[in-house]
Structure 1
Amino acid sequence: MGKRKQDLGDVPMGGTKNADDESDDDVDMINVDFEWFDPQPAVDFHGLKNLLRQLFDNDAQIFDLSALSDLILSQPLLGSTVKTDGNESDPYAFLSVLNLQEHKDKPVVQDLIKYIQTKAASNPSLSALSELVSQTPVPPIGLVLTERVINMPAQVIPPMYNMLLEEIAWAIQDKEPYNFSHYLIISKGYEEIESKLDLEESRPQKKSKKGGDGAQRFFFHPEDEVLQRNALCHGSYEFTHKQDDGHSDSKRAFQELGIITNGSMVLLDASQFEATVKAVGEYLQ
């Protein structure tokens, strides 16, 4: 069943902007009707699995994405998908939440908890998260998983978060296990690096833009800026499985620099979640 249909007006869907042109005149605009649906186990499995693979990027192979997709789809009244061609079409975006404490005995959730522990321990900025997930048993943390195809407008996100708030409130009224102490959002960002192709052609004195702690990081999801602003802690981490040297150049389609992706995690106190959702909506309106 469709939750809501919303016309976002003219939105950019895959721009053709020239990297040297600062104007927006060359960005393709298209009017699209987006429709929000409850997760549909009968039709969403493959589309959801593909979006999860995109979210976890290089480290997707660590997880049983089939089991994770099934777990998300086992909560048909919690979370949303976004489609443009009816309920039977593949989702272009999704958002859901899993209770890490409730599902701690499921192998895929055990893998997620171990992964979160390892990555949080690798970055001092995530020390509060590291301490939290190291407790036994793990606290009732709501793991927020959300992803969308790369050319989806960010404006589809606030309705999904707003509906999630409503659904969690209804679930708590029905005594279901969604009374969280914290929310943890897994996302990813990227750093720009000097293209290896350019370095081969550059003059000897030309310096490359290096990654690492001093590099500027960018968001794939613009709402992450607001989430981080309201977080108890946040930080990035390197993927366990490294990309090869040519991978960054394969992602430089519309820019001069190559990019290297990295994961990120944002921890929110549950008492701040509603205000943060409101702030995301205001930022993306």
Structure 2
Amino acid sequence: MASSAKRRAVGLAENPEERQNSSDENSEADADSGEEDSDASEEEINEEVMVDFEAHTISVNDFNGVKRLLQQLFLKAHVNTSEMTDLIIQQNHVGSVIKQAEVPDDSDDDDPDEVFGFITLLNLTERKDVQCILNDSSKPVGLLVSERFINVPPQIALPLHKQLQEELADAQRTNKPSEKCHYCLMISKTCKEANKSVPARGGAPKDEYLFVNAEEEFFYEQAILKFHYSVQEDADTCLSGRWSFEDVPMKPFRTVMLIPADRMPAIMTKLTEYLTV
């Protein structure tokens, strides 16, 4: 089935040093050719790029893209990402994929329909016979998955989460699959400093986890159960390996959170305040 556009969001990727670099390069016009070539290469790397994204209904054509994003979340965990992707596609009345709105004809991209991110909610209790051990039907749990490439700006998350909440409400009104969930289970990509020093007065170093998807910290604040586990041994360097923030080496983790569904309105309010500043 063809994918239909749902909502559009604009993302801007920029390097804050770009304007300074540009000014410096102009003032050094007399530099030798080798330095000019180096500066030109650096300018290309730091180039500001405006990208227009669209949210589409998830379709069978998105199988590889969705599966790839699930793999960057679960890494080597014992999760059948192919079967999970099939479930996400079958339940395409809930959830969206992010694609570039218009791909130029001269683009080098091999796949103009590349999936840059997606969001969905799978009712785990409803599917307890499909590789799931949660069987308390009185309080169903939904797996909330929101994945995207690391260079896709967080502003894209707000319209996606709003769209998802509207689709869930519509599914409940029309008795479509994906009944109301009492809890949402989230697994987020996080990291912390690799060489955290011990405080001068003794005691264990404070664990400060950074969320790769920054907006997911608001879900963490509302979670009633949460824990972290290391994926250092499972991490593929091209997916989540040797991260660094401001030249500080980081260790990759996954953070598991259980959030009551009735706390979603408060989370959406926080998201709106944070992502519309």
Q: TM-score, normalised by structure 2?
A: 0.74
User: Relative to structure 2, which stretch is displaced further, 275-284 or 64-73?
Assistant: 275-284
Secondary structure in 2 matching 1:44: helix
Q: How many equivalent residue pairs?
A: 233
Counterpart in the other structure of 2:242:
251
Secondary structure in 1 matching 2:92: coil
User: Which letter maps to 2:8?
Assistant: K
**Is contact 2:220-2:257 (8 Å) kept?**
yes
Structure 1 pair 137/213, CA: closer, same or farther in 2 (3 Å)?
farther
User: Relative to structure 2, which stretch is displaced further, 220-229 or 164-173?
Assistant: 220-229
- Which of 5, 10, 15 does residue 7 from structure 1 map onto? 10
Looking at structure 2, the residues matched to 247 and 5 of structure 1 have their Cα atoms a distance apart, in angstroms, of 29
Structure showing greater Rg: 2
Map residues 44-59 of structure 1 onto 2, 5 A cutoff.
44-59=62-77
- For structure 2, list consecutive stretches of 5 or more residues without a partner in the other structure: 22-42, 104-111, 199-203
Looking at structure 1, the residues matched to 269 and 8 of structure 2 have their Cα atoms a distance apart, in angstroms, of 20
Determine whether 1:178 maps to 2:179. Answer: yes
Alignment RMSD (CA, Å): 3.1
Determine whether 1:232 maps to 2:224. Answer: yes
Looking at structure 2, the residues matched to 173 and 189 of structure 1 have their Cα atoms a distance apart, in angstroms, of 35
Looking at structure 1, the residues matched to 258 and 129 of structure 2 have their Cα atoms a distance apart, in angstroms, of 22
Looking at structure 2, the residues matched to 167 and 274 of structure 1 have their Cα atoms a distance apart, in angstroms, of 15
Secondary structure in 2 matching 1:180: coil
**Is contact 2:5-2:55 (8 Å) kept?**
yes
Structure 1 pair 50/155, CA: closer, same or farther in 2 (3 Å)?
same
Determine whether 1:154 maps to 2:154. Answer: yes
Q: Deviation per CA, 1:137-177, whole angstroms, max 9, x where unpaired?
A: 58311110111001000000011110011101110011234
- Which of 100, 103, 112 does residue 127 from structure 2 map onto? 103
Map residues 1-80 of structure 1 onto 2, 5 A cutoff.
1-8=4-11, 11-12=12-13, 15=15, 28-41=47-60, 43-59=61-77, 62-80=78-96
Q: Deviation per CA, 1:240-265, whole angstroms, max 9, x where unpaired?
A: x7248x99996246643322111112
- Which of 243, 265, 278 does residue 256 from structure 2 map onto? 265
Looking at structure 1, the residues matched to 205 and 59 of structure 2 have their Cα atoms a distance apart, in angstroms, of 41
Structure 1 pair 75/261, CA: closer, same or farther in 2 (3 Å)?
same
Looking at structure 1, the residues matched to 193 and 261 of structure 2 have their Cα atoms a distance apart, in angstroms, of 33
Q: CA deviation at 1:58?
A: 4.3
Map residues 119-198 of structure 1 onto 2, 5 A cutoff.
136-137=136-137, 139-176=139-176, 177-194=178-195
- Which of 84, 89, 92 does residue 113 from structure 2 map onto? 89
User: Relative to structure 2, which stretch is displaced further, 270-279 or 98-107?
Assistant: 270-279
Looking at structure 2, the residues matched to 167 and 51 of structure 1 have their Cα atoms a distance apart, in angstroms, of 22
Structure 1 pair 232/250, CA: closer, same or farther in 2 (3 Å)?
closer
Structure 1 pair 278/264, CA: closer, same or farther in 2 (3 Å)?
same
- For structure 1, list consecutive stretches of 5 or more residues without a partner in the other structure: 114-132, 195-207
**Is contact 1:249-1:258 (8 Å) kept?**
no
Structure 1 pair 168/193, CA: closer, same or farther in 2 (3 Å)?
same
User: Which letter maps to 1:270?
Assistant: A
Q: TM-score, normalised by structure 1?
A: 0.72
Q: Deviation per CA, 1:32-71, whole angstroms, max 9, x where unpaired?
A: 1110111111x10000011001112343xx1111111111
Determine whether 1:275 maps to 2:276. Answer: no
Counterpart in the other structure of 2:275:
284
Looking at structure 2, the residues matched to 250 and 270 of structure 1 have their Cα atoms a distance apart, in angstroms, of 32
Percent of aligned positions with the same letter in both sequences? 27
Q: CA deviation at 1:213?
A: 6.8
Counterpart in the other structure of 1:220:
212
**Is contact 2:244-2:250 (8 Å) kept?**
no
Secondary structure in 1 matching 2:83: helix
